[in-house]
């Protein structure tokens, strides 16, 4: 008699983001054919730190939080990656994001490695004072392994420029000197860069522009939908019209509470104002309600998955009708979903290419902090456009050369660069 199959365990494994990242790397290696030692090194983080964070809450009681910092690979330069505050944070999510950050910095060819951090918490339930104490406590624990030449954190899910400012200040008190480049995504008043706020979305729109050209589609007459109306999604809603043409029509938007649909289109700014006033896009006047799942399956020209991981899977991928999927979120598509999208000719701009604008402008911020000289917004936009456009065409060239999907092509470009750096340094 055989043991019963644990279907729940199989499903959890299938959606484990780090297992997905490893599977994607192994798929790319079918083309790269790396030496076994090189592949084995790239399959795991070089180092990671787990921390315990006691924080005194406003009621006087001490609450203990758990946090992580993963430094995946720094062969090409200091690690770089955001810090997430999320109630469902896991070490495997952080490992996956650190891996994707390694490939992200490599695919846009900036001299950095990949890291990521996270704290298991619900930031929406914390007061401003509690958030500040938690942020500072995190730096007290991880400060020994971060720094301009080691590992540079930045904002991510539910973290903000203000949180980066608190962390930078705590790091200053630890070290006894200012090192503003040790954190990026800061407010402008304390060393932030022009253009950082919308950089993730802006980079994705630059990639979308190039994809539209390749597919022979007009830039200014497309319908689009955004799943996830946080920072990246909000900016994408505006920039799709601002950069590619006012005739582009935003027909659906969703957030964690639900979504709205209007075939006639929305004015992005009005949706932003409604969300600021109510906390959600739900209930926007004149719109029909729509679920996050239904939004992804709309017949539109472009979808922007801009929320969390694993929203496009083998289950719903056959119903995806968009011509282009620009992944502003990290890991929104599972490997089985990828295979289906590729087979049905959906043009996927993979996450660590599509959303690399954020880390690129973070790198620009590091450079400006180091020089103590800051660029104009026009210079930032021009340099970001140059970087993103070249990266897109590097990936597209690999896609054509190896006859693989765009995600595997992005891996081929990025992993080859990291592996070569490891070989030159004598690591493998």
DSSP for 59-100? TS-EEEEEEEEEEEE-TTSSEEEEEEEETT--HHHHHHHHHH
* 237 closest CA partner among 212, 211, 260: 260
Query: 265-282 burial, b if ≥16 CB within 10 A, otherwise e?
Result: ebebeebbebbeeeebbb
Pairwise CA distance, residues 210 & 171, whole Å: 40
Burial class of residue 367 in the structure, from the number of CB atoms within 10 Å of its CB (0-12 exposed, 13-18 middle, 19+ buried):
middle
Active-site annotation holder among 19, 61, 80, 116: 116
Report strand pairing: 324-326 vs 302-305.
Answer: parallel
* 116 belongs to the catalytic site: yes
Buried b (16+ CB within 10 A) or exposed e, 127-164: eeebbbbbbbbbbeebbeebbeeebbbbbbbbbbbebb
Written as six digits, the tokens of 402 are 């190896």
Euclidean distance between CA atoms 166 and 172, whole angstroms: 10
The runs of H, that is alpha helices, within 112-230 are 128-142, 161-175, 199-214
Catalytic residues: 116
């Amino acid at each position: 008699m055989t043991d019963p199959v644990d279907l729940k365990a199989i499903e959890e494994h299938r959606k484990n983001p780090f297992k997905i990242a490893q599977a994607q790397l192994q798929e790319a290696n079918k083309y790269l054919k790396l030496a076994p030692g090189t592949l084995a090194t790239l399959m795991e983080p070089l180092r990671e730190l787990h921390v315990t964070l006691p924080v005194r809450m406003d009621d006087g009681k001490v609450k203990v939080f758990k946090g992580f910092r993963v430094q995946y690979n720094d062969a090409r330069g200091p690690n770089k990656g955001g810090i997430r505050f999320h109630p469902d944070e896991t070490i495997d999510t952080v490992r996956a994001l650190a891996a994707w950050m390694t490939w992200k910095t490599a695919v846009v060819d900036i001299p950095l490695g990949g890291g990521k951090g996270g704290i298991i918490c619900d930031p929406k339930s914390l007061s401003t004072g509690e958030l500040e104490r938690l942020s500072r406590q995190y730096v007290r624990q991880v400060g020994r392994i971060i720094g301009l030449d080691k590992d540079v954190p930045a904002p991510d899910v539910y973290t903000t420029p203000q949180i980066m400012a608190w962390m930078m200040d705590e790091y200053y008190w630890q070290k006894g000197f200012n090192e503003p480049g040790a954190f990026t995504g800061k407010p402008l008043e304390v060393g932030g860069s022009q253009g950082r706020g919308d950089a993730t979305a802006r980079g994705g729109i630059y990639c979308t522009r190039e994809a539209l050209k390749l597919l022979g589609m007009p830039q200014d007459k497309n319908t689009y939908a955004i799943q996830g109306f946080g920072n990246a999604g909000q900016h994408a809603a505006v920039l799709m019209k601002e950069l590619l043409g006012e005739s582009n029509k935003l027909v659906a938007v969703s957030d964690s509470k639900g979504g709205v649909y209007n075939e006639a289109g929305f004015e992005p700014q009005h949706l932003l104002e409604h969300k600021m006033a109510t906390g959600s896009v739900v209930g926007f006047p004149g719109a029909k309600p729509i679920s996050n799942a239904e939004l992804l399956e709309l017949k539109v020209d472009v979808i922007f998955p801009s929320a969390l991981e694993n929203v496009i899977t083998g289950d719903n991928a056959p119903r995806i009708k968009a011509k282009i999927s620009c992944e502003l979120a990290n890991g929104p598509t599972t490997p089985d979903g990828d295979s289906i999208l590729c087979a049905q000719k959906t043009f996927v701009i993979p996450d660590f290419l599509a959303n690399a604008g954020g880390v690129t402008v973070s790198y620009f911020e590091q450079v400006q902090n180091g020089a103590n000289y800051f660029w104009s917004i026009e210079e930032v936009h021009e340099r970001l456009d140059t970087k993103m456009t070249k990266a897109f065409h590097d990936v597209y060239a690999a896609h054509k050369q190896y006859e693989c999907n765009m995600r595997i092509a992005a891996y081929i470009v990025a992993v080859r660069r990291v592996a070569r750096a490891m070989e030159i340094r004598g690591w493998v």
